[in-house]
A and B are shown apart, each in its own frame.
Chain A
Amino acid sequence: MPWRGGWLPSTFFSACLMGLLLCATSGMATGHGPFALIRAIWEGSWGSVDAAITTLAKMTPLLLTGLAVAVAWRVNLLNIGCEGQLTLGALAAATFALQAESLPSWALIPLSAAVGAAIGALWSWPAVALKHFRGTHEVITTLILNYIATYLAEYLVLGPLGDGSAMGRTAQIPSGAVLKPVLSMGVPVAPFAGVLLCLVVQAWLSRNVWGYEVTVVGINRVAAETSGINARGWERRIFLFSGALAGMAGAIEVLGVHHRFYRAFSAGYGFDGVTTAFLVQGLPGMLWLSALLMASLRAADKWLQLALGVSPNMILVIQAGVLLAAVCRPAAVFFRRGRVPWK
């Protein structure tokens, strides 16, 4: 059941606390002192202009995949297929940008992103269709679709859509399709647009009749149907929207960061989206907070190595600890507000 007014910060801050605790103990265990790790993570993610830009750039896919998981969770669907939707969305956007390079920049960029989103939505459709017609659980189907997407993309990029090299990648997209950073310093524009999108979705969900219907479907499907809401229709639309968001995440990675598609494209952004969403209990309006945290952790791993000689896998451990703290909501034990939101 989605979030309904429990004390949100309890989840996020208990997770942060858990993360800090992990950093402190492992810092002490490795002989760097309790604050060395925390400091290194801070310096590595926000300590310099370059670091801050890298962190911001990593926020974009997390915001979008996080939002994808969060909206699907609104109607009680768990979309863990973001990885595949993102991969195919990225490939589609790169291919489209290469084919339509004669278009002017103002049309090419949004159209490429839209193509990515459309393919992402298309790739999420089988999951929701199977759920409705055969009762298959969407966790299973989206997970399997991830594998199909990964290998399909690999096949396509090694064959018909690749640049002919053995590297398994497309050619570089035309410069007109590149999402250029704002300001001379190279601050990317996409994360801010992503935050805005999250806020718009939040407003839509909470201040609009359709958003209200979606929320009702999520809280009590039977009651929603009884009162004349087309639950199935909403589930389908929301799930396709979720897939579209993940596809767009991939498209924006191509347009803004890599400027091409290559195989093994997603570095776990689809799954980190699940973490991002659940850190703030699937509340779209708060995603910026969790995306900020996750992006900072991801961006800090290089500095962790250079400054302390700590393996980048340490970041994965911290991420896992943070998620664990978020899903078991230790603070809820003390505050006793409502039930644990998913059974």
Chain B
Amino acid sequence: MRLSGGLAALGLVVCLVFPGAVALGKPLRVVVITDAAGLGDRGFNDVCWRGVEKAREELGLEAQFLQSREQADYVSNLTLAAKRADVIVTLGYLFVDAVQRTAPRFPHIFFVHMEGEISGENVACFDFKSEEGGFLAGLVAGVFTRSRKIGVVTGMDIPPVEAYVSGFRAGVDTAAVRRGEGIEVIVASAGSFNDPVKGKALAQALMGKGVDVIFRAAGNTGVGVMEAVKNSDGVYLIGEDLDQDGELPGKILTSTLKRLDVAVHGALSDIARGSFQPGHRWMGAQSGAVGITEMRYTRGLFRPEDLEFVAMVSTMVARGDLVVPRTMGGLKTFSPPNMP
């Protein structure tokens, strides 16, 4: 009696200490949980899913994805997924609370989370220095704009978006100093990452104010922004999170890159190899996880010296010589570097 109790306890301890042991032999089952926007947002969720697909091909794991209809479903979706998966990947800041609540209840399951900090021995979470991508995008917009008015359409004003916007503003300011003239940035928030209709309306309103470059930092809402830009001459878009340049060739100046796929893929490979690393990590330009695209369709729209300027500042950011503000508070104390 005592012995069997002891054995059971030992078994429990083994399971707790070596969570990977349960899954050995079978393909790793992965469930990816998204917010209401789901896949097909041509942004955040799609990039993450790309990393999962790559891992699926390389490692032969089973992957499913689960779209949550409302925030009330987050915890129950996590619980449901935890019962049939070995790894759960949650995409986006809105999941922080729910994962924090659920992860301790399933110590034998790995949680991989994108954007936001969650503690726990079975949780690995990644944050991206979105502000660095935003900064470079702001730089491009700033040297390009002819009307000296730039628009930004955001989804919800959560910290990662704030980082994008403050970085972007800092970039525009830097370009303005170089040009020696003021540039106005108008930010409009849709209040949702999943409202393309509103995204379109906001973009049109911004154009009405004379904006000629719009930066979308709005998830699926940004699909509407793209729609609006597509139909108007002389207005250009800056994409977010993944290379969207090819969607409207010549109309998208550049896209910020947030290599969520690299992070997701890396975390999944680690788990498959049995070398899971819990904890919170920052990914930025220095690790190559954040940046902007090559601008392969739009280089002709810029003066060569402007492109050189952008490239030079890019290397500064990548080397860590230039610290980009992540919050609006930080932006106030940011002074644009003086460039030759």
Contact = CB atoms under 8 A, between A and B. Distances in A.
A305 B66 contact: yes
Contacts of B156: 167-168, 263
Main secondary structure of the interface of A (DSSP, over half): helix
Interface string B21-41: 000000000010000001000
Interface stretch (B74-82, B265-273, B287-295): B74-82
Given A166-B158, A168-B156, A264-B191, A306 B67 contact: no
Contacts of B84: 306
B69 A298 contact: yes
Nearest to B192: A264
A312 B69 contact: yes
B69 to A, nearest CB: 6
B158 A167 contact: yes
B64 A309 contact: yes
A298 B77 CA distance: 13
B298 interface: no
A54 B159 CA distance: 31
Contact of A54 (B38, B68, B76, B94): B76
A154 B191 contact: yes
A296 B159 CA distance: 35
A252 to B, nearest CB: 12
Contacts of A315: 69
Contacts of B66: 302, 305-306
Contacts of A309: 64
Given A154-B191, A264-B192, A305 B65 contact: yes
A267 interface: yes
**How extensive is the interface on chain A, given as a class?**
20 to 34
Interface size of B as a range? 20 to 34
Interface string A293-305: 0000010011101
A263 B79 contact: no
B73 interface: yes
Contacts of A264: 71, 191-192
B132 interface: no
B157 interface: yes
A315 B73 CA distance: 15
A50 B76 contact: yes
B233 interface: no
Contacts of B38: 311-312
Nearest to B157: A166
Contacts of B192: 264
B181 interface: no
Contacts of B80: 50-51, 302-303, 306
A312 B40 CA distance: 14
Given A168-B157, A258-B71, A312-B38, 13 more contacts: A54-B76, A58-B72, A167-B93, A257-B72, A262-B71, A263-B156, A267-B72, A298-B69, A302-B73, A305-B64, A306-B80, A311-B67, A312-B67
17 contacts: A158-B157, A166-B157, A167-B93, A257-B72, A263-B191, A264-B191, A264-B192, A267-B71, A302-B66, A302-B68, A302-B76, A302-B80, A305-B66, A306-B64, A306-B81, A312-B69, A315-B69
